[in-house]
Chain A
Amino acid sequence: DVKVTQSSRYLVKRTGEKVFLECVQDMDHENMFWYRQDPGLGLRLIYFSYDVKMKEKGDIPEGYSVSREKKERFSLILESASTNQTSMYLCASSPRTGGFQPQHFGDGTRLSIL
């Protein structure tokens, strides 16, 4: 089974801090994604990457950046954390084969910015 591992289940940080969320997948998937999930809003795509060192903005990239130095690892960075970034963050991966493939998700990081 594909395993997507997010480094922390719960994280508490302070306003203005630089925050790193890490995600690792073990199935050699080309595509990796970062979402945030807020009640009533579903999942919103922040950034995605379809190859090492490649990244594309999703629907809500403001205040975030990403890094993909290795195929298996995709990091989300909050440059200067703000309270409105308190949320559940979900990482996902999928293979880049012919046709659109289902995404495999980690268990999420619940981030609180105080």
Chain B
Amino acid sequence: SQQGEEDPQALSIQEGENATMNCSYKTSINNLQWYRQNSGRGLVHLILIRSNEREKHSGRLRVTLDTSKKSSSLLITASRAADTASYFCATEHGNKLVFGAGTILRVKS
């Protein structure tokens, strides 16, 4: 399978703490994307990192990419209750996106 795999499957933290989620994939990529899904809703695109980039920031989000290890991480700093959601990484294969199974993040207030 080309599917990315997120780790951990679930994460529970206190508001204000940082949350780190990891994604591993199997084949070489052009870019990797992270999406968020609130309960009962569709996915929302968070950030795209290209294969020639090592790190990217967007507000409280920081994404890193290590193509030699075929892995990426998503860091959410100073988490808020509203960050409670599922987070998915997705890799491009041809003209398709392949999603991992996701990490469920719960931020307790």
Contacts and interface: CB of A to CB of B under 8 A. Distances in A.
- Whether both chains belong to one complex is answered with yes
B75 interface: no
A104 B101 contact: no
- The bracket for how many chain A residues form the interface is 20 to 34
B82 interface: no
B42 interface: yes
B41 A107 contact: yes
Contacts of A108: 40-42
Contacts of A102: 33, 45, 48
Given A40-B101, A41-B101, A43-B99, A103 B45 contact: yes
A93 to B, nearest CB: 11
Interface string A79-114: 000000000001010000001101111111000000
Interface of A: 4, 31, 33, 35, 40-43, 45, 48, 50, 58, 90, 92, 99-100, 102-108
Interface of B: 3, 30-31, 33, 40-45, 48, 88, 92, 95-102
